[in-house]
Amino acid sequence: MANYLTGQLLIAMPQMDDKRFRNTVILICSHDSEAAMGVIVNQPVENLCLEGLAEQIGIGTPLFAGNTPVYNGGPMEQSRGMVVHSSEHMLPDSISITHSMAMTSNIKIITEIANGYGPGEYIVTLGHASWSAGQLEREIRSNVWLTMPFQKDLVFSESIDTVWDSCFSRLGISAAHISTTAGHA
pTM given for the model? 0.91
Backbone angles phi, psi at 52, to 5 degrees: -65, -40
Longest dimension (CA), the chain: 58
Taken in order of first residue, the domains within the chain and their CATH numbers are 8-177 (3.40.1740.10)
Residue 14 pLDDT exceeds 80: yes
Instruction: Report whether 42 contacts 25 (CB < 8 A).
Output: yes
pLDDT digits (tens, 9 = 90+) for 93-137: 999 999 999 999 999 999 999 888 899 999 999 999 999 999 999
| d(C-alpha 16, C-alpha 14), whole Å | 6
pLDDT digits (tens, 9 = 90+) for 144-169: 999 999 989 999 987 888 899 999 99
In this prediction, residue 185 carries a pLDDT of 56
First to last CA, the chain: 19
| d(C-alpha 163, C-alpha 169), whole Å | 10
Report the candidate in 111, 121, 117, 128 with the shortest Cα–Cα distance to residue 50: 111
| d(C-alpha 6, C-alpha 30), whole Å | 5
Residue 131: how many CA atoms within 13 Å on its side-chain side?
24
| d(C-alpha 144, C-alpha 46), whole Å | 26
pLDDT digits (tens, 9 = 90+) for 65-100: 778 899 999 999 988 999 999 999 999 999 999 999
Angle (CA) 176-180-181 rounded to 5° is 145
